[in-house]
Amino acid sequence: MIKAIAVEEGSNLTTSQIELAKRLMSERSFHRPFISRASSALVIAALMTFVVGCSTENSHPEFRLNLQDILAKMGQKPEDFQRSGDEDARKNYAKLQFMATALHAAFGDPDDPYLFPEVQWNAEEKKGLDLRKIKLAAGPFGGSANGEQRGLFRQHCAHCHGVTGDGAGPTAAFLDPYPRDYRQGAFKFKSTERTAKPTTDDLKRILRDGIPGTAMPSFLLLPNDEIEALVEYVKYLSVRGQTEINLAIDLFSNDEEVEPKKEAILETYLQPVVDDWAAAEELVVRPPARSESQTEQDLRESIAKGREIFFRKDAQCTKCHGPTGLGDGNDGAPEKDKLFDDWNKEKTPENIAYWLLPKKELRPRDLRMGIFRGGRRPLDIFRRIHQGIPGTPMPAGGRDEKNPTGPLKPEEIWNLVDYVRSLPFEDASEPAQFESHGATAMVEHP
């Protein structure tokens, strides 16, 4: 280059100028050996870190132990694990190790899930988990040797729900509400009785419809077999998480010995959870039929009745949802009386450090938004009122043979359903929910 400049511009440049140019060029390239080498080494190192990234660590991810519940709910303190050489600490560490091993024995690891034959899907009894489907959803993202899609959970779900299904994936902290922690076995939006598990169809419905008003998107366009694999994997993670909590209660809270035997783990800690999931199919809430033909007059009357019930002191709807349904009923409460999900309520200043995510307030639903997280069919809203929402302050208010003193009779719940469904379209929702460009507003858009 220098030569080219010199030749081309030779006629106009003095020799000294050329020398200066040469010196400048050479200084640029060679006179800063240390910094240059150091920085190029760093650039390479940084690039390597990027390329290698977390892959060495994640190439074989493990399920995360549920320390949160052990510390926050089972009377253990971090010191109980840390004093080196202390006998209690050694004992606690051994318990943790046993828990990890027992769970590994019963469930395998994220890349290679396993289930005892006793809890695998039994078509006759309609019970158990389908290991074939679970394997389809498990593992790292990508096709397996036989060309089957694998790693669906890590592809679609793990970044929020976490590899362990603890609802604390890398993106979880930014979301409101937090992603569901499957380990607690509590699911808010389902068709079954409050304390029952959701049915398979409930989970499929959530995957397909998403949960409006939350960060849970719809996976409607996934093929059915992938949806089923994901649902089965969610069940697997939930069963695993609850088995872990059951084990931890006996090990840490009750200070029991657990035998390192399959039967001991299966019968006491695992089988009851699997039975719960199987029982859910029978515990679906089926509201009494409503007359099919509802005229507009009927609807208006029903809405008016529903409004009355909404304000009734035995229904108490307004205490959280507010007299106008804006979800502001608890707004005047002092800090300590704010509303929380059960798993946020348990977070106190003393134990907050043990939790995976900070405490987050729960807002009662603003009924005028027209957003219904658990589904907008009258049937869905009926079930929300009848059974409440598990894990939240929303209580079960419906009357049936299992809860004969429930304040709300089925017909009254239907009236409430109509009222709640009409709320987004009431006049108080100004400005109007919808403003058309085609039919009414003739404003030319710029």
Partner 1 sequence: MGKFWSILFLMVPVLGIALFFWAPSAGYWLPRDNSVHGYQIDHLFNFILVLTGVVFAATEGALFWFVWRYDAATNRDPIKFTHGSHNLEVIWTILPAATLLFIAIYQMNAWADVKMRVPKNLPPTVEVTARQFEWRLRYPGPDGKLGTMDDIHHVNDMHLPAGEEVLIELKSMDVLHDLFLPHLRVKQDAVPGMSIPVWFRAKDVGTFDLVCAELCGWGHYKMKGRATIQSRAEYDKWLEEMAVAQAATQEPEKEEE
Partner 2 sequence: MSMPSDRFLLATCLGLMCCCASGCGGVATANIPVPSPDPKLSKEIRESSGTATTASAAETEATPVAATTWGNLSGKFLYDGPAPDSARLAITKDEQVCGKHDLRDESLEVGAGGGLKNVVIFLADKKVSVHPDYEATAKDTIKFDNDHCRFEPHIMPMRTSQTLQIHNSDPLSHNSNLTPLGDRPFNQLISENNAVTYQFGKQQNVPVMVTCSIHPWMKGYVFPRDNPYVAVTGEDGSFEIKNLPAGKHDFQVWQEAVNGLAAKPEWKKGKFKLEIKEGDNDLGTIQVSAALFGK
For residue 263 the two structure tokens come to 């039967």
Give the three-class secondary structure for 405: coil
Query: What does residue 393 show for φ and ψ, rounded to 5 degrees?
Result: -70, -15
Question: Do you know the residue count of the chain?
Answer: 446
Instruction: Tell me the window of 8-16, 40-48, 94-102, 105-113 that interacts with partner 1 (CB under 8 A).
Output: 8-16
Q: Which of 281, 239, 250, 297 is nearest to 99 (CA)?
A: 250
Residue closer to partner 2 by CB (options 298, 342) is 342
Residue closer to partner 1 by CB (options 184, 191) is 191
CA distance 254 to 252: 6
Residue closer to partner 2 by CB (options 165, 391) is 391
CA distance 320 to 339: 9
First to last CA, the chain: 54
Judged by CB under 8 A, does residue 403 bind partner 1? no
Residue 440 beta carbon to partner 2: minimum distance, rounded to whole angstroms:
42
Interacting residues with partner 1 between 202 and 241 (CB under 8 A): 204, 209-210, 212, 215, 217-218, 220-221, 224
Residue closer to partner 2 by CB (options 207, 417) is 417
Q: Contact letters (x/-) for partner 1, 369-388, by CB under 8 A?
A: -------xxxx--x------
Residue 46 beta carbon to partner 1: minimum distance, rounded to whole angstroms:
22
For residue 335 the two structure tokens come to 């800090």
Residue closer to partner 1 by CB (options 32, 286) is 286
Instruction: Tell me the window of 233-241, 312-320, 343-351, 427-435 that interacts with partner 1 (CB under 8 A).
Output: 427-435
Residue 276 beta carbon to partner 1: minimum distance, rounded to whole angstroms:
21
CA distance 265 to 267: 6
What does the DSSP 8-state code read for residue 287?
A: P
CA distance 432 to 179: 32
Interacting residues with partner 1 between 162 and 191 (CB under 8 A): 171, 191
Residue 19 beta carbon to partner 2: minimum distance, rounded to whole angstroms:
22
> Which option in partner 1, partner 2, none does residue 334 bind, with CB closer than 5 to 8 A by kind?
partner 2
Residue 427 CB-density burial (10 A; 0-12 exposed, 13-18 middle, 19+ buried) = exposed
> Which option in partner 2, partner 1, none does residue 246 bind, with CB closer than 5 to 8 A by kind?
partner 2
**Residues 419/306, Cβ–Cβ less than 8 Å:** yes
**Residues 210/217, Cβ–Cβ less than 8 Å:** yes
> What one-letter code names the amino acid at 88?
D
Residue closer to partner 2 by CB (options 201, 256) is 256
**Residues 236/63, Cβ–Cβ less than 8 Å:** no
Applying CB under 8 A, what is the total number of residues that bind partner 1?
45
The contact set with partner 1 (CB under 8 A) reads 4, 7-9, 11-12, 171, 191, 201, 204, 209-210, 212, 215, 217-218, 220-221, 224, 284, 286-287, 289-290, 376-379, 382, 414, 421-422, 425, 432-439, 442, 444-446
